[in-house]
Amino acid sequence: MRISRRNVKSANAPVTDAPKCAQCGSTSLKRVQATFPVKFGGKLAGRRVDVYRVEMDKCRHCAAFTPTSQGKAKIKRCTKKGIEFFLEHLR
Protein backbone atom coordinates (compact mmCIF):
# COMPACT_ATOMS: atom_id res chain seq x y z
CA MET A 1 0.00 0.00 0.00
CA ARG A 2 1.34 3.41 -0.95
CA ILE A 3 0.82 6.53 1.11
CA SER A 4 0.93 9.79 -0.76
CA ARG A 5 1.91 13.11 0.73
CA ARG A 6 -0.15 16.25 0.36
CA ASN A 7 1.47 19.53 -0.47
CA VAL A 8 0.45 21.99 2.20
CA LYS A 9 1.46 25.62 2.13
CA SER A 10 3.49 26.73 5.03
CA ALA A 11 2.13 29.34 7.40
CA ASN A 12 5.33 31.28 6.72
CA ALA A 13 4.79 31.34 2.94
CA PRO A 14 5.07 34.81 1.41
CA VAL A 15 1.74 36.51 0.72
CA THR A 16 3.19 38.43 -2.24
CA ASP A 17 2.73 35.39 -4.50
CA ALA A 18 -1.06 35.69 -4.30
CA PRO A 19 -2.74 37.64 -7.14
CA LYS A 20 -4.37 40.91 -6.10
CA CYS A 21 -7.40 42.82 -7.28
CA ALA A 22 -6.46 45.76 -9.51
CA GLN A 23 -9.14 48.00 -7.97
CA CYS A 24 -9.12 47.33 -4.22
CA GLY A 25 -5.95 45.26 -3.70
CA SER A 26 -7.76 42.33 -2.08
CA THR A 27 -6.28 38.84 -2.37
CA SER A 28 -9.68 37.15 -2.01
CA LEU A 29 -10.33 36.19 -5.64
CA LYS A 30 -12.51 33.57 -7.28
CA ARG A 31 -11.65 32.01 -10.66
CA VAL A 32 -14.59 32.32 -13.10
CA GLN A 33 -15.20 32.14 -16.83
CA ALA A 34 -16.92 35.15 -18.33
CA THR A 35 -17.51 36.98 -21.60
CA PHE A 36 -15.08 39.82 -22.31
CA PRO A 37 -16.20 42.51 -24.82
CA VAL A 38 -13.50 44.13 -26.98
CA LYS A 39 -14.47 47.41 -28.69
CA PHE A 40 -12.52 48.53 -31.74
CA GLY A 41 -11.47 52.01 -32.74
CA GLY A 42 -10.04 53.59 -35.89
CA LYS A 43 -11.31 52.02 -39.12
CA LEU A 44 -13.38 49.55 -37.15
CA ALA A 45 -14.99 52.09 -34.81
CA GLY A 46 -18.36 50.92 -33.59
CA ARG A 47 -17.51 47.24 -34.02
CA ARG A 48 -17.18 44.85 -31.12
CA VAL A 49 -16.00 41.29 -30.55
CA ASP A 50 -17.28 39.29 -27.60
CA VAL A 51 -14.67 36.79 -26.42
CA TYR A 52 -16.46 33.91 -24.70
CA ARG A 53 -15.23 31.74 -21.81
CA VAL A 54 -12.30 33.91 -20.75
CA GLU A 55 -10.66 32.85 -17.48
CA MET A 56 -10.93 35.72 -15.04
CA ASP A 57 -10.42 36.41 -11.37
CA LYS A 58 -13.47 37.95 -9.69
CA CYS A 59 -12.80 39.93 -6.54
CA ARG A 60 -15.02 38.88 -3.65
CA HIS A 61 -14.96 42.38 -2.15
CA CYS A 62 -15.60 44.76 -5.06
CA ALA A 63 -16.76 42.26 -7.77
CA ALA A 64 -14.18 43.50 -10.29
CA PHE A 65 -13.16 41.12 -13.09
CA THR A 66 -9.48 40.79 -14.05
CA PRO A 67 -8.33 38.45 -16.85
CA THR A 68 -5.71 35.87 -15.88
CA SER A 69 -2.59 35.38 -18.01
CA GLN A 70 -4.34 32.60 -19.95
CA GLY A 71 -7.38 34.85 -20.34
CA LYS A 72 -5.26 37.72 -21.67
CA ALA A 73 -3.67 35.37 -24.22
CA LYS A 74 -7.12 34.23 -25.41
CA ILE A 75 -8.35 37.83 -25.68
CA LYS A 76 -5.28 38.72 -27.75
CA ARG A 77 -5.78 35.73 -30.11
CA CYS A 78 -9.50 36.37 -30.59
CA THR A 79 -9.02 40.11 -31.08
CA LYS A 80 -6.44 39.45 -33.80
CA LYS A 81 -8.83 37.05 -35.59
CA GLY A 82 -11.71 39.53 -35.19
CA ILE A 83 -9.70 42.33 -36.80
CA GLU A 84 -8.69 40.04 -39.67
CA PHE A 85 -12.33 39.00 -40.17
CA PHE A 86 -13.72 42.55 -40.21
CA LEU A 87 -11.01 43.88 -42.52
CA GLU A 88 -11.51 41.00 -44.97
CA HIS A 89 -15.31 41.14 -45.11
CA LEU A 90 -15.97 44.88 -44.87
CA ARG A 91 -14.29 46.15 -48.02
Residues 82, 50: Cα–Cα separation, whole Å: 9
Q: Does the pLDDT of residue 30 top 90, yes or no?
A: yes
Q: Does the pLDDT of residue 15 top 60, yes or no?
A: no
Domain boundaries, the chain: 20-89
- Give the range among 12-16, 30-34, 67-71 with minimum mean pLDDT: 12-16
- Chain center to CA of 62: 16
Residues 44, 6: Cα–Cα separation, whole Å: 52
- Give the range among 4-18, 41-55, 62-76 with minimum mean pLDDT: 4-18
83 burial (CB, 10 Å; 0-12 / 13-18 / 19+) is middle
Query: What does the pLDDT average to over 55-70?
Result: 93
37: confidence class by pLDDT, cuts 50, 70, 90: very high
pLDDT score of 22: 86
Residues 21, 75: Cα–Cα separation, whole Å: 19
Which fold does the domain 20-89 belong to in CATH? Ubiquitin-like (UB roll) (3.10.20)
